[in-house]
Structure 1
């Protein structure tokens, strides 16, 4: 066994109903005097709850998905003009992404209070969109110094968005099994993240106001993000960055839709990872109606994922979010250019075209084994 693993330095405060207490604790720890709170208009109520025990100098609500460079620049200027020395971002991945864009050029520290399962709060990865291209990178300046998890703040998240956001987190786990810097440590965290998400998300669907399901999903989302931060972006995220940055597809729904197709594509070339994923899904879904174990780990993993997605009524087709057949050639070209050289299966234009055509209309993911295609059984 030989590997090099990096662990990011960050405080995590977890407790339902304790966001305001924990935010105040962290503001005091930073000895901050001028706090900027970034939260969209939709998230304002949650943000006011979380900041009830501190003074906010500047509220900033200009949040746009995929963080256009113009949006980032306006937030940077607002922070500079107000003499901000600490950012508290409260919301989903777009909100955290905007805070990171400010920190990237100013060095202002961030306290993140997630209200979805996006996971951006636990990574040092930033993303900015300029024109039709989304650029990502890693920089420790954008890593929030503390993350505050309060499941009560997720109770207002609609079930459909909870599902797509949770499957986005699960995609972090799956990518971490074979991403460029995958190692036994982040693979172990990814597997536990899968188990927790496969347990928590169905409970949210069954009982949207239940705290236990949402706490379990938050725990899984955190593990998924930590694994992803260490392992790096795999093929799944490269595909979704193209679809989001170039075609402005919604972030969480795109990840939720694309995930089973990337798993079906990569699984046969990484049977150990597929077997680990299948085991984690089976453990999380214990007690539910799940497919019997199969002989082929990739096929079993795809079937289990499809069974989970059916339980969650997950998104199934990119065409539902504005992607069209005419967009496929441009997407394929960009994906092939961005795909990690270390991806388990060879990435070619013809294979990416087939993957996108299937994801476009929601065809059942096809598992490639020994040169042939075997249909998954679950979708």
Structure 2
């Protein structure tokens, strides 16, 4: 018998096309925008130029200061810029950093958002905002940070570097994997999660082999959209807590941290989620945790925390922080077991299931 569940759909207008950017001006007009603040990261000045050219004199200001893990001082500065420029719409283009900053501005100002993802992070589909304050990443959930319109433009993803594509894609898979065993999981999201994982797991090796493979890029962006829907619709568990801890407290790169930790967090929870492991085996093959690490290794993504800058001396502290304000998890959180998980992840060892 199917268990009872609650499913809440988050409203958003999604446009998915090979050249969705062609619709940017029309979508901004549909939102009634006359004064737009355009947000990117410092590395995306070319994209900034493209957006400002497309929007013309309706651009009231630009902010190319989005940073990883969304530091609160940058959020405050961007929100002040929006107020000073009297913006009526935030237009953000880029990955999780740019979209995270857009959401932070929306939370502070109440402005609507039109976002254009260029990676596979999935942040654009969630009511979740994580900001870093005093070396710790704090996460909150609010409908106020949901973008009103999302433009998925496949052509923009063609220029995404292979390394970023792989880690960003693994980050997306992590959202869908945890959605399968979230406390508030439901049949709709579980179906989307399995579809998303299958699409992304097929697309990443193809992109690694042929970066300009349009069909693989299309499949990856589709998978990223679904993964974001999963993250935005149900809760998170141990994997995301560990990633937020390591990212916020040790300044580790976001997507790479997800890539390394996902196989180990899944293996930790495996004894408590046999049905989910069976479902994942149908998509990934036998021993899904090992298959995820194999996928990362085969596509050149990192498989150890050491190679992305995590000091071994910080593992004890990381375990303590993760346990200080833990997320719900299907398996009880045991300090020594979590510390062992972190040590295996630090060394790049095989994920290990225990009971």
Shorter-chain TM-score: what band? over 0.9
Q: Match for residue 326 of structure 1? A: 313
SS in 1 for 2:54: coil
Q: Match for residue 9 of structure 1? A: 11
TM-score (norm 2): 0.96
| Shift, 1:39, TM fit | 0.8
CA distance in 2, matches of 1:258, 1:316: 8
| Shift, 1:50, TM fit | 4.4
Give per-residue Cα distances to partners, 1:312-348, cap 9 Å, x unaligned: 122111111221121111110111123333x121211
Q: Which runs of 4+ in 1 moved over 4 A?
A: none
| Shift, 1:54, TM fit | 1.4
Q: Does 1:156 align with 2:159?
A: yes
Check the 8 A contact 2:183/2:330 in 1, yes or no: no
CA distance in 1, matches of 2:76, 2:32: 26
Q: Does 1:142 align with 2:145?
A: yes
Q: Match for residue 230 of structure 1? A: 233
CA distance in 2, matches of 1:36, 1:237: 31
TM-score (norm 1): 0.90
SS in 1 for 2:353: strand
Q: How many residues align?
A: 351
Counterpart pick for 1:242 among 225, 231, 245: 245
Q: Match for residue 302 of structure 2? A: 315
CA distance in 2, matches of 1:16, 1:51: 20
Check the 8 A contact 2:193/2:230 in 1, yes or no: yes
Matches within 5 A, 1:111-150: 111-150=114-153
CA distance in 2, matches of 1:327, 1:215: 39
| Shift, 1:130, TM fit | 0.6
CA distance in 1, matches of 2:325, 2:238: 8
Q: Match for residue 79 of structure 1? A: 82
Measured on the aligned residues, the alpha-carbon RMSD in Å equals 1.3
Q: Match for residue 33 of structure 2? A: 32
Check the 8 A contact 2:263/2:290 in 1, yes or no: no
Worse overlay, 121-130 or 310-319: 310-319
**Any stretches of 5+ residues in structure 2 without a counterpart?**
none
Give per-residue Cα distances to partners, 1:266-300, cap 9 Å, x unaligned: 12210111111121224xxxxxxxxxx4xxxxxx2
Worse overlay, 44-53 or 94-103: 44-53
Q: Match for residue 350 of structure 1? A: 336
Check the 8 A contact 2:20/2:154 in 1, yes or no: no
Counterpart pick for 1:278 among 281, 295, 305: 281
Q: Does 1:337 align with 2:324?
A: yes
